[in-house]
Amino acid sequence: MVSMLYAVETSNITKHFDEITAVNRVSIQVKPGELFGLLGPNGAGKTTLISMLSTMTEPSDGSARVWGFDVQKQAEIVRQNIGVVFQDTTLDDRLTGRENLDLHGRLYGLDGRTRRKRIEEVLSLVELTDRADALVRTYSGGMMRRLEIARGLMHHPRVLFLDEPTLGLDPQTRIHIWEYIKTLNKEEGVTIMLTTHYMEEADHLCHRIAIIDHGEIVALDAPEALKNMLGGDVITLEIEKPDQLARLCDLYKKNGCANIVSQKKNEIFITVKEGERQIPHILALASNAGISILSVSLRKPTLDDVFLHHTGRAIREREASEMEQVGYKIRARRK
């Protein structure tokens, strides 16, 4: 009898690539019917983790079970119970949408009657019925993404893995994909595990989020709980002289009036309760210490603030830094 306490469960799962540890001792539990997100920058280990859970890559250490089955010892049964939508499209653009779905159904052993019925159901779910018989090469990027989601649902998977489901799509199409994902989670009852580096996507869709960086889970909870852990409103202070930043941090810590989230260049990010009421006091402390404040802003915490709190860097900063490193390596090779 297979225990269904968790749809996905990992225990210290790890993946090494030569000297690089892509996933480092990750332990998570995803409940049946949950919409669970892995949020982190490019290169954080999200896709590698999904690859192990979908039996495409073997773990170097640790273990994982999907729908109660071991991903290494029972890989074939795991594959029968999952659907996967990859980052890059794997559709055959020389076939129609309907033909792509029919081919997938055949590969999973669905009989003709079941295939035809299921094709109509999934096409309706992603609103592609009117384009079902058009060649996929005539589809827009958003339509291809919807067709891939429909294909992943053809065989009634228990767990659906979505790897960066809206990557490269325009904002309007992205919002539409979000609604399809929420609908299939609710109406199909399928457990969904998605990866993303879009904070608003994780915030909007997921029941719980695991923030991942350098292959490790740095925080895991519901979106609101993650933001609430910072303890209030976020105030950003820009000071005139960057060399006074450390002194300003010490000043606020000694007075106990704010929690320091992070600092960079000539800015400090702090969290306080009832930010609007606290700003005058915070500014007065700086002024009395001879520290000139150039600007001040107040807002509610975001998931990027949570990532910043745990890693010292914003998700977008991390990605920009990685792109710079890649560019440097390319230039070095050319030389």
Residues 200 and 54 in one domain: yes
Residue 260 confidence (pLDDT) above 80:
no
CATH number at residue 246: 3.30.70.790
Give the pLDDT mean for 269-293: 89
Q: pTM of the full predicted structure?
A: 0.83
Tens of pLDDT along 134-191? 999 999 999 999 999 999 999 999 999 999 999 888 898 889 899 989 988 998 889 9
Residues 75 and 157 in one domain: yes
The residue segments making up the domain with residue 262 are 231-300
Residue 306 lies in a domain: no
Percent share of the chain, pLDDT over 90: 63
- Whole-number pLDDT of residue 212: 96
Residues 181 and 247 in one domain: no
- Per-residue H/E/C for the chain: CCCCCCCEEEEEEEEEECCEEEEEEECCEECCCCEEEEECCCCCCHHHHHHHHCCCCCCCEEEEEECCEECCCCHHHHHHCEEEECCCCCCCCCCEHHHHHHHHHHHCCCCHHHHHHHHHHHHHHCCCHHHCCCEHHHCCHHHHHHHHHHHHHCCCCCEEEEECCCCCCCHHHHHHHHHHHHHHHHHCCCEEEEEECCHHHHHHHCCEEEEEECCEEEEEECHHHHHHCCCCEEEEEEECCHHHHHHHHHHHHHHCCCEEEEEECCEEEEEECCHHHHHHHHHHHHHHCCCCEEEEEEECCCHHHHHHHHHCCCHHHHHHHHHHHHHHHHHHHHC
Residue 232 confidence (pLDDT) above 90:
no
Higher pLDDT, 255 or 27: 27
- Whole-number pLDDT of residue 316: 59
Tens of pLDDT along 84-123? 998 888 999 999 999 999 999 999 999 999 999 999 999 9
- Whole-number pLDDT of residue 254: 83
Domain end (from 175, 194, 222): 222
Residues 70 and 128 in one domain: yes
Residues 159 and 264 in one domain: no
pLDDT band, residue 258 (cuts 50/70/90): low
Percent share of the chain, pLDDT over 70: 92
CATH number at residue 135: 3.40.50.300
Residues 205 and 237 in one domain: no
Number of folded domains in the chain?
Answer: 2
Residues 203 and 244 in one domain: no
Residues 207 and 129 in one domain: yes
Residues 246 and 206 in one domain: no
